[in-house]
Amino acid sequence: MNEDQHHQDGEPELSASYSLTRRDFLFIVLAMLGLILAYAAPTMEGLSRDGQVMLGILFMAAVLWITTPIPIAVTGLLVMIMQPLLQVTTAERVFSAFGNQAVFFLIGAFILASALEKYGLHRRIALRFLRFFEASPRFFTLGIMVSSACISFIMPEHGVVALFLPIVASILVAMRVIPKQSNFGKVSVLCIAYGCSIGSLGTPVGGARNPLTIGILADAGITVTFFDWMTYAMPVVFISLPLVWLILQATFPLEISDIGRAKKEIERQVQKMGAMGGREWTVAGIIAVTVVLWVFFSSPQYLGLAVIALMGSMLLFFTGSLSWKDVEERVPWGIILLYGGAITLGAGMKSTGVANWIANGVFSIVGNQPYLIIFMLIVLTIYLTEIMSNTAAVAMLLPIGFAIATEIPGVSPLFAAMAIALSGGLAFMLVIATPGNAITYSSGYFSSRDLLRAGVIANLACIGVLFVVAVVYWKGVLGI
C-alpha cells in the first residue's frame, strides 16, 4: 500500500490507477469467502439472520479497506449494494444515506477548499504564518507545525499537506539541508504531517470523519454544531501540538543554529506572490463569512452546517470566482462514495444488532468499567487507523461505541462518538496511516524507521492526552 492507495481524512487517493496483482486477488477472495461463510453458516447465538449477514459485510469491508486491493471508494459502493443484494435492508434505505446533511456539508467544504487552492490563498496564509516564527531553528519548526494545524481548521488535511511540503522543501533546499541526514530536515517535514493530523481534529472541516460523526450523531437525535465540535476538540489540539513538537525535538535534536537562509527564502516567496487581487479578496471574504456563520449559526434552529457550506459554495459561482471545471479538477468525489458506504455500514450494524452483539462481547472481556472501555476505544481506533482509512475505521467503530454507551451508566453516545472520532486523526507511526505521512515521506527527508521512532511515542502521548481530556474536561466540565 502506498500514497496512491491511502490518501485519507487520511483519505484515499481516488484518481490513481490500479492493477490487480496476485496478492490483491487473494485478499478479494478472502473478503468474499468471509461474506459467503456468514451468509451460508447457521446463525450464531445472540445474532439475528440479518445480523450475521451484516457481520459478514463488516468483515468484507474491513479486509478490503485494510488491504486495498480495490480503491476504497469502490469498497464503499460494495458495502452499499451488498445490503439489498443479500436482503439485509432495502435499496431505498441504503441510498437514503446520501440525503444525510453531512454529505452536503462535505461537498460544500470541498468546493470552498477548491477556491482556496485555485487562488493560492492557503499559500499566502502559510507564508504569513511562517514569518512569525523566524527567531530560531527550533521556533521555526514549531511555526511549521502550528501553521499546518491552523490551516487544517479551514480545509481538508491532505490539501494542507500538499501545500506545505513544497514551501518547506524549498526552504530546506535553500538551507542546503541533506535529506535523511539532517535532523532539522526530519523535524521540519514531520511537523507538517503531524501538525496537519492534529489540526484536522479541531473543526468539522479538517477531515471527512468529522462530518461523518456529526451525521451519525444527528441520526441518533444528537446535535453537534460547528462551535460544539470546536469546544470538544480544541483542548486536545492545544495540548497535543506542543507535546508532539517537544517529542520531535527530543527524538531528533536539531543540528542547525542559523535560520538566515530560511528567512530569505520565505521573503522571496512572499514577494513573488505579490499583492492580492480583487478575486482573491472576494474568495477570502466569502470563506471568512462562511466560517463565521458556521461558528455562530450552524445549529438546526438556524441554518445548519450543510446549508451554510452550500451557500458559501454558491457565492463562489455567482461572483465568477469558481467554475465547475475548477471543482471537477479539485474535489475528490470518490470520498463521497466512501462516505456513503461508511455511513450505511454503520446504520446496518446498528439496525441488525451487530453493534450490540460486538459490544456484549467487549463487556464479557473487560467488564462494565466505563473508563477502561473508553480507553480501549481510543487505543483501538488509533491503531486501526494506522492501517486503514480513518473515515472507514471511525464508521466501523461508531456503532459499537454507541452500543457500549447505551449499556454503561455515565457514558453518553456523544462521549463515545467524540472519543472515537478524534482518535481517528491521531495516527503517527506508519507511512500508510495518513496522507500527511505518505506525502511527506515521498519527499525523502525521513525514513520509515524515523517515522516509527517518533510516531510510537507521539501516539502514546496523544492517547494519554485524549483520555485525560475526555474524562476530566468532557465529563467533568461539559458533562457529556
Mean per-residue pLDDT over the chain, rounded: 85
Separation between Cα atoms, residue 82 and residue 36, nearest integer Å: 11
- pLDDT of 203 strictly over 60: yes
- pLDDT of 282 strictly over 70: yes
- Write out the three cell numbers for 462: 496523544
- Write out the three cell numbers for 70: 480495490
274 backbone φψ class: left, alpha, beta (φ>0; ψ -120 to 50): left
- Residues 6 or more apart whose Cβ sits within 8 Å of residue 153: 199, 202, 203, 205, 206
What pLDDT score was predicted for residue 249? 94
- Write out the three cell numbers for 453: 521512532
Distances, alpha carbon 342 to alpha carbons 39, 63, 76, in Å: 21, 14, 6
- pLDDT of 12 strictly over 50: no
Q: Could you write out the DSSP letters of every residue in 333-359? A: THHHHHHHHHHHHHHHHHHTTHHHHHH
**Mean pLDDT to the nearest integer, 461-470:** 95
- Measuring CA to CA, which residue among 95, 66, 96, 98 is closest to residue 81? 95
Q: Report residue 15's pLDDT band, with 50, 70 and 90 as the boundaries.
A: very low
**Mean pLDDT to the nearest integer, 340-354:** 84
Biggest distance spanned by C-alpha atoms of the chain: 71
**Mean pLDDT to the nearest integer, 466-473:** 93
- The DSSP secondary-structure symbol of 1 reads -
- CA 203, 388, 461, 133 dihedral sign is negative
20 backbone φψ class: left, alpha, beta (φ>0; ψ -120 to 50): beta
Q: Report residue 7's pLDDT band, with 50, 70 and 90 as the boundaries.
A: very low
**Mean pLDDT to the nearest integer, 448-455:** 90
416, containing H or E segment: helix 413-423
- Residues 6 or more apart whose Cβ sits within 8 Å of residue 40: none
What pLDDT score was predicted for residue 373? 85
What pLDDT score was predicted for residue 351? 85
- pLDDT of 479 strictly over 80: no
- pLDDT of 232 strictly over 90: yes
What pLDDT score was predicted for residue 200? 93
- Write out the three cell numbers for 346: 454503520
Lowest mean pLDDT among 239-248, 256-265, 386-395: 256-265
Domain ranges (residues) in the chain: 101-330
Query: Is the distance from CB of 51 to CB of 357 less than 8 angstroms?
Result: yes
- pLDDT of 19 strictly over 90: no
**Mean pLDDT to the nearest integer, 232-240:** 96
- pLDDT of 3 strictly over 60: no
**Mean pLDDT to the nearest integer, 149-157:** 87
- Write out the three cell numbers for 407: 449499556
- pLDDT of 450 strictly over 80: yes
Q: Report residue 5's pLDDT band, with 50, 70 and 90 as the boundaries.
A: very low
How many CA atoms lie within 13 Å of 6's alpha carbon, on the beta-carbon side?
A: 26
Burial of 132 (0-12, 13-18, 19+ CB in 10 A): exposed
- The DSSP secondary-structure symbol of 44 reads P
**Mean pLDDT to the nearest integer, 28-56:** 91
Separation between Cα atoms, residue 438 and residue 394, nearest integer Å: 20
376 backbone φψ class: left, alpha, beta (φ>0; ψ -120 to 50): alpha
Q: 444: how many CB neighbours lie within 10 A of its CB?
A: 12
What pLDDT score was predicted for residue 463? 95
Lowest mean pLDDT among 281-285, 321-325, 422-426, 475-479: 475-479
**Mean pLDDT to the nearest integer, 455-475:** 93
**Mean pLDDT to the nearest integer, 422-440:** 86
Lowest mean pLDDT among 61-65, 98-102, 165-169: 98-102
Q: Which residue has the higher pLDDT, 143 or 274?
A: 143
**Mean pLDDT to the nearest integer, 290-303:** 84
Q: 364: how many CB neighbours lie within 10 A of its CB?
A: 8
| Most confidently modeled range among 6-20, 107-121, 334-348 | 107-121
Q: Report residue 11's pLDDT band, with 50, 70 and 90 as the boundaries.
A: very low
| Most confidently modeled range among 100-104, 177-181, 404-408, 450-454 | 450-454
